Chains A and B, each alone.
Chain A
């Protein structure tokens, strides 16, 4: 019986949402005027971010098709490009919000928004959606927890248009965490209709059929090929987008993507390799927009499990033996921000990330190493994730060369993507490896929480320090204008400088190539194409 269902599914034109009437052939003129074509190298594997196994590229559906209570504002960068603004929260579905005088809760007033099926967005929908995010487990629940949103009891419906969140603790991360892609608001009436006893959160249904109030609806989804967005003209979350239809095509071959954007058959190529970004930017026929990804670093991790790296001087010697400038040129193609050559071991401000006070200085490295028990050098495998080989491979080779100059013999160890998380992040057993963690919430304490606290996932160096842990715990929820905040953060950064369990190489860019007529591209921490702000004129 199942088989028959599958066969049926196979004979339907498209899987999932492709049931809307869609002309056999789009009229060419309309297509040219109103349709924007975006290409990516990655595959969208679900239209529901909360589902188990949903991959990162799929988060764009949450961004473009759903609304959250809050979103971030926009700021113009010094080079004229646009970026989201972490410091400015704006309402997406929320008309207004107010923190209670005692600081223990926040109350939202909802806009008069409607879902795609015309039903109003109510506080019930908001509660159901947030309940879902904290209950389903996996990544969404972990991300909610980062904002101290942990239990359904925290979410309270006051009336149809008023919604209240009771805080477990007062934390500066709670409101920003409501603006990340995870807590999106679902049409709960529609979802519940399609829920079953075994599947109370309608995971099966929403996996293929989004039900939201966002700027774009999913017109069709051909898994592994394309996603077609069509505009929701009744969108209340922000200004009406310019493009009526947006086609996101998946083109696995990077060379093919480049040929397409250069020839002008597509409007925007998302997340292009640094090498292409550099070359295309020089050619001028294509517009390249790139910004360093906030709170993200490419780092070399020295694991405390490995005997030599227990010695701080060995770690510092390694930090002095990294050929930073060559890496920045040959792996990052100068697309990013330099993270070496800082002035002092005492940070002057709390900006993060900021350059570490190391430079390539082999004499100093040798001297430091000679003061340790490992003055004759040692052998160590240097691992990287094959999934990030684009920058990982040249970086590892250059580090290998640098380390050889001070007598450390590194052997390159390439690890397939499927194993990477297990060995590097879960078992944390790689002595020396490359990592590229970036935190969604843009505060230093948030980065330190994930990467410098014992046992936490991205602390793949097994760094364990009581003072650091205490500093992180104290600052994680503390408001940034608290007078204690800055000194504590400075102390954390100074410790990271001094002890270098993670040696930053550079802050990577997210680069996007566009045709000259395309405007309005905005860089986001979630690294997804937010197609809502794009405008374009055909030449």
Chain B
């Protein structure tokens, strides 16, 4: 006798199962790719004045003297116990680093994304409803500027203007003012943790520090969202059912938000998923400019010095994040699109 499983749970289960081979593939590929990186970590970490013997010693310590399959098995064994190894360049366990750094990146990316949605979606909708008006041109300008300005440039320009010249923004020295201490980590999101700790002054400081980097990143992510909203709205507004709705005398508001927007939002959600993932990548430069202790700068540093454990840990964490992200988007889909619900 089959146990009745609610369709949503079944969907989640199926998606999770589908993710398993992808993750297995990622584990293998990152392992091989890191080994294919140029450079010899043992020589690098032995330091400038090392001799042959000390390099060999370090190679042994890193386990790099063993054959690839043996290294891989050891890696799998570690993974199974939740041990991602120790990053030799930062000297910290990779898991600890990820736990402390990932929330910093996520907080920044999420806030930036919320900001850009708040601007881009209305902008796209307005541009679509009034083609070739000034707002459409504004939309086009913002989109072009957002795509073509490199984030580190926008970041530096904002720092120059708001910190260096005007002095409105706090010093770009990370997530909190130098006089504040990080709150006890609960979520790792300073905005939330400082509230939990009841330290509203620190919340304010965290927010102030977040604004410039978030705006920088938002400018960058705004473009695809606005474009996609505009295109999807235009397409939907030109379709038959909208014409019918209009002909039936429904109010403009009802047509626009009840029917058109609801249908246009599907491709926008897909885009959001993509934008979120590449925003996490684009973070690197923003993190560098604002000394943001995030995951992007960590990964780049690790890559430059062939720090195997850190690179593997980072890619794996990102892979898991993507699986979770895609799952979330699929679930949102079922909420928005009734057709998907009918399938089950």
B159 is an interface residue with CB less than 8 A from chain A = yes
Size band of the interface chain B makes with A: 35 or more
Contact B301 A250 (CB under 8 A): no
In the bound complex, what is the Cα–Cα distance between A286 and B99 (angstroms)? 39
In the bound complex, what is the Cα–Cα distance between A139 and B174 (angstroms)? 33
Contact A260 B93 (CB under 8 A): no
Per-residue interface assignment for chain A, residues 201 to 221, with 1 indicating a CB less than 8 Å from any chain B CB and 0 otherwise: 000000100000000000000
Per-residue interface assignment for chain A, residues 33 to 72, with 1 indicating a CB less than 8 Å from any chain B CB and 0 otherwise: 0000101000101100001111100000000000000000
In the bound complex, what is the Cα–Cα distance between A207 and B297 (angstroms)? 23
The answer to whether residues A142 and B49 also contact, given A15-B92, A253-B288, A259-B160 and a CB cut-off of 8 A, is yes
Contacts of A139 in B (CB 8 A): 46-50, 54
Contacts of B260 in A (CB 8 A): none
CB proximity of B164 to chain A, nearest CB, Å: 5
The answer to whether residues A52 and B45 also contact, given A224-B101, A250-B291, A422-B39 and a CB cut-off of 8 A, is yes
A344 is an interface residue with CB less than 8 A from chain B = no
In the bound complex, what is the Cα–Cα distance between A304 and B289 (angstroms)? 43
A343 is an interface residue with CB less than 8 A from chain B = no
**CB < 8 Å: which of A24, A262, A266 contacts B164?**
A262
The answer to whether residues A252 and B57 also contact, given A6-B95, A223-B91, A224-B90 and a CB cut-off of 8 A, is no
Q: Which of A234-242, A411-419, A464-472 lies at the binding interface?
A: A411-419
In the bound complex, what is the Cα–Cα distance between A422 and B45 (angstroms)? 11
A2 is an interface residue with CB less than 8 A from chain B = yes
Contacts of A142 in B (CB 8 A): 49-51, 54
Residue among B57, B199, B201 with max Cβ neighbours from chain A (10 Å): B57
Contact B38 A416 (CB under 8 A): yes
B6 is an interface residue with CB less than 8 A from chain A = no
Contact A46 B49 (CB under 8 A): no
Residue of A nearest to B89 (CB): A45
Chain A interface, >50% SS class: mixed
Tell me the chain A residues, 137-177 only, with Cβ under 8 Å from chain B: 137-139, 141-143
Contacts of A263 in B (CB 8 A): 163-164, 167, 171
Contacts of B37 in A (CB 8 A): 418
Size band of the interface chain A makes with B: 35 or more
B290 is an interface residue with CB less than 8 A from chain A = yes
CB proximity of B93 to chain A, nearest CB, Å: 5
Contacts of B185 in A (CB 8 A): 10-11, 13
Contact A53 B45 (CB under 8 A): yes
Contact A54 B179 (CB under 8 A): no
Q: Which of B80-88, B250-258, B336-344 lies at the binding interface?
A: B80-88
**CB < 8 Å: which of B156, B164, B201 contacts A25?**
B201
In the bound complex, what is the Cα–Cα distance between A7 and B84 (angstroms)? 12
B236 is an interface residue with CB less than 8 A from chain A = no
Contact A259 B179 (CB under 8 A): no
A457 is an interface residue with CB less than 8 A from chain B = yes
Residue of A nearest to B163 (CB): A259
Contacts of B297 in A (CB 8 A): 224, 252
In the bound complex, what is the Cα–Cα distance between A195 and B48 (angstroms)? 28
Tell me the chain A residues, 247-289 only, with Cβ under 8 Å from chain B: 247, 249-253, 255-256, 259-260, 262-263, 265-266
The answer to whether residues A143 and B182 also contact, given A223-B92, A224-B90, A225-B293 and a CB cut-off of 8 A, is no
Contacts of A45 in B (CB 8 A): 89-91
B43 is an interface residue with CB less than 8 A from chain A = yes
Contact B181 A422 (CB under 8 A): no
Residue of B nearest to A11 (CB): B185
In the bound complex, what is the Cα–Cα distance between A222 and B92 (angstroms)? 11
In the bound complex, what is the Cα–Cα distance between A14 and B293 (angstroms)? 14
The answer to whether residues A43 and B50 also contact, given A28-B179, A31-B179 and a CB cut-off of 8 A, is no
Contact B293 A138 (CB under 8 A): no
B150 is an interface residue with CB less than 8 A from chain A = no
**CB < 8 Å: which of B61, B163, B298 contacts A52?**
B61
Per-residue interface assignment for chain B, residues 277 to 290, with 1 indicating a CB less than 8 Å from any chain A CB and 0 otherwise: 00000000001111
**CB < 8 Å: which of A9, A54, A417 contacts B91?**
A54
**CB < 8 Å: which of B40, B61, B81, B293 contacts A224?**
B293
B41 is an interface residue with CB less than 8 A from chain A = yes
Contact A55 B163 (CB under 8 A): no
In the bound complex, what is the Cα–Cα distance between A45 and B301 (angstroms)? 12
Contacts of A138 in B (CB 8 A): 46-47, 50, 54, 57-58
Contact B291 A256 (CB under 8 A): yes
Residue of B nearest to A258 (CB): B164
Contacts of A37 in B (CB 8 A): 178
B53 is an interface residue with CB less than 8 A from chain A = yes
**CB < 8 Å: which of A52, A137, A262, A416 contacts B304?**
A416
In the bound complex, what is the Cα–Cα distance between A9 and B82 (angstroms)? 14
Contacts of A31 in B (CB 8 A): 179
The answer to whether residues A13 and B184 also contact, given A6-B93, A6-B95 and a CB cut-off of 8 A, is yes
B100 is an interface residue with CB less than 8 A from chain A = yes
Per-residue interface assignment for chain A, residues 7 to 29, with 1 indicating a CB less than 8 Å from any chain B CB and 0 otherwise: 10111011100000011111010
Residue among B99, B160, B167 with max Cβ neighbours from chain A (10 Å): B99
A490 is an interface residue with CB less than 8 A from chain B = no
Contact A417 B305 (CB under 8 A): yes
In the bound complex, what is the Cα–Cα distance between A141 and B47 (angstroms)? 11
In the bound complex, what is the Cα–Cα distance between A54 and B45 (angstroms)? 8
The answer to whether residues A259 and B91 also contact, given A139-B48, A421-B48 and a CB cut-off of 8 A, is no
Per-residue interface assignment for chain B, residues 257 to 295, with 1 indicating a CB less than 8 Å from any chain A CB and 0 otherwise: 000000000000000000000000000000111110100
Contacts of B82 in A (CB 8 A): 2-3, 6
Contacts of B57 in A (CB 8 A): 137-138
CB proximity of B27 to chain A, nearest CB, Å: 17
Contact B179 A26 (CB under 8 A): yes
Tell me the chain B residues, 9-54 only, with Cβ under 8 Å from chain A: 37-41, 43-51, 53-54
Contacts of A2 in B (CB 8 A): 81-83
A480 is an interface residue with CB less than 8 A from chain B = no
Contact A53 B50 (CB under 8 A): no
CB proximity of A209 to chain B, nearest CB, Å: 12
Contact B178 A43 (CB under 8 A): no
Contact A9 B96 (CB under 8 A): yes
The answer to whether residues A6 and B91 also contact, given A26-B179, A53-B45, A418-B306 and a CB cut-off of 8 A, is no
Contact A419 B92 (CB under 8 A): no
In the bound complex, what is the Cα–Cα distance between A271 and B199 (angstroms)? 36
A99 is an interface residue with CB less than 8 A from chain B = no
Residue of B nearest to A419 (CB): B39
Q: List 20 A-B contacts (CB under 8 A).
A: A9-B93, A9-B96, A13-B185, A24-B181, A26-B179, A52-B45, A53-B45, A53-B89, A54-B47, A137-B53, A223-B91, A224-B90, A247-B178, A255-B159, A256-B289, A256-B290, A418-B44, A422-B43, A422-B44, A457-B49
| Further 13 A-B residue pairs, CB within 8 A, beyond A10-B100, A139-B46 | A25-B179, A45-B91, A139-B50, A223-B92, A223-B97, A224-B297, A252-B288, A259-B163, A265-B171, A417-B304, A418-B41, A419-B40, A426-B43
Question: Ordered nearest first, which 5 A-B pairs have the shortest CB separation?
Answer: A3-B82, A418-B39, A139-B47, A10-B99, A53-B45
**Residues of B near any A CB (own CB < 8 A):** 37-41, 43-51, 53-55, 57-58, 61, 81-83, 88-93, 95-97, 99-101, 156, 159-160, 163-164, 167, 171-174, 178-182, 184-185, 199, 201-202, 287-291, 293, 297-298, 301, 304-306
